[in-house]
Amino acid sequence: MNPIYKKVGVVGAGAMGRGIAQIATQAGSLVKLFDMQPEAVSKAISSVGAQWDKLADKQRLTSEQVAQYKLSLEVATQINDLADCDLVIEAIVERLDIKKSFFAELEALVQPSTVLVTNTSSLSVTAIASALKRPEQFAGYHFFNPVPLMKVVEVIAGIKTNPKICQDLSQYANQMGHQAVQAQDTPGFIVNHAGRGYGTEALRIVSEGIADFASIDRILKDQVGFKLGPFELMDLTALDVSHPVMESIYQQYYEEPRYRPSVITAQRLAGGIVGKKVGEGFYKYIDGVAQVAPEPPVPVVDNMPPVWVSTRAVRRAELLQLLKDLGAKIETGASPSSQALSIVAPLGFDVTTVAVVERLDPARTIGIDFFIDDKLTKRRVLATNPATRSDMRDAAHALFAKDGKPVSVIRDSGGFVTQRVVATIVNIACDICQQGVCTPNDLETAVTLGLGYPMGPLMMGDKFGPTEILEILFNVQTVYGDPRYRPSPWLRRRGAIGLSLSHVES
């Protein structure tokens, strides 16, 4: 292999630096690993060597490759050892003052042609470069942990970065077996920016008393196909990592409501309940296994009331067919009888609002989230309003669970759970495109590889319908009066005229 950068310095012997050193060596570069603590470098190199030995045992590397890699990964005992490197990648503490000071010192040692890059996840590349005499030779190069497995790299241009530098860094990422995406120097770049919707909206739902952590995780995994629920994910990444990112992006965007953090994570971080690594987060862990309370049992209902379905229900024909398949006695009048269970299926609105607008008895009214085709989900979600009678709630739960599909019953919420979380994710992604942070294609690639979503957020919007997403946001904003839910101009315009969000004409 003939790598673009023959000699590469990696600064920082933590997990991130260790991973970068591993893949850079495998790309054919001579790599020098430096850290202010020499013993950390020795441990890191031993750890990487052990990883290569394991890959050889699994016959994924040859013994000759491993021997060559070990010869190509060297200890840099002092910063001066990096002077002859073509590229130096910094992966040290996430503090602007320390990074600026370090790069100013490093720039004075290396050749004028040397490219300097930072692995920062949340700091401004331009701000770090402001301390340099050659900011055109500086860029962001953001890897994700664990580096050998997370195959996406964000290449970030500062205001003065030479575009050729970003092209070369992208090509080098490909040589390391990773997929490069190019981003403008904006808070959170692509992945951390696009990821603001999932966790923060789930936290908001909890803060409103709508559902508990486990219920929200179950709903989003079973209805949308996320591999991890938002609270499982935050436990895995740990709040001492994820909460500061939430605050950083919110503050850097001058308190943009779409990125508003939650007091829930702030309190838990202050109390040290940060996640799986300490044995307790949103879940408690025993031997690394989350302790999750079982779901409530399906109620036993002897006398099932007749069912009336709102004429304004989304996917009404499909909902009526489902009720027939479940054996419900369906009323077909213009309004429900005094004994009927009234079913509403709104987009964005809460059950209370629909009951009032449609002049339904709220005591007998239940909402169902029919935003996604029932055949494509593994769970049904019902919502009560503050006046819903317990017998009507139990009847609806028992009826919709008749075929064995799990049912979650939540409290009233504009947009249930899935609607508002999906709409928030799609809306933020659309605004990333509106701001020109990256191309739609790079956005989709970065999110699917960096966040593990079942599909890119723009494709998610296309799948569930840009017009429907737009309606959800308008209606949720009406319910809550919060500018957090205002639609991005990108979504509003494309959704209004029926254009795809993910396939954009050049």
Catalytic residue at 124? Answer: no
- Under 8 Å between Cβ of 122 and 99: no
- Under 8 Å between Cβ of 371 and 377: no
Catalytic residue at 121? Answer: yes
The catalytically annotated residue of 142, 193, 243, 397 is: 142
Neighbours of 385 (CB within 10 A): 21
Pairing of strands 284-286, 289-291: antiparallel
- Backbone φ and ψ for 162, nearest 5 degrees, come out as -65, 125
The catalytically annotated residue of 192, 385, 408, 488 is: 192
Catalytic residue at 318? Answer: no
Catalytic residue at 119? Answer: no
Q: What are the CB-based long-range contacts (under 8 Å, 24+) for 319-325?
A: 319/343, 319/345, 319/368, 319/370, 319/374, 322/374, 323/399, 325/403
Tell me the β-bridge partners of 344: 367
Distance in angstroms (rounded) separating the CA atoms of residues 425 and 409: 23
3-state secondary structure 51-117: HHHHHHHCCCCCHHHHHHHHHHEEEECCHHHHCCCCEEEECCCCCHHHHHHHHHHHHCCCCCCCEEE
Distance in angstroms (rounded) separating the CA atoms of residues 239 and 243: 5
Instruction: Check the CA dihedral 306-307-311-317 and report its sign.
Output: negative
Distance in angstroms (rounded) separating the CA atoms of residues 366 and 502: 35
The catalytically annotated residue of 74, 90, 119, 121 is: 121
Q: Find out whether the peptide bond into 146 is cis, omega within 30 degrees of 0.
A: yes
The catalytically annotated residue of 74, 90, 107, 154 is: 154
Contacts of 71 (CB under 8 A, 6+ apart): none
- Active-site residues, by number, are 121, 142, 154, 192
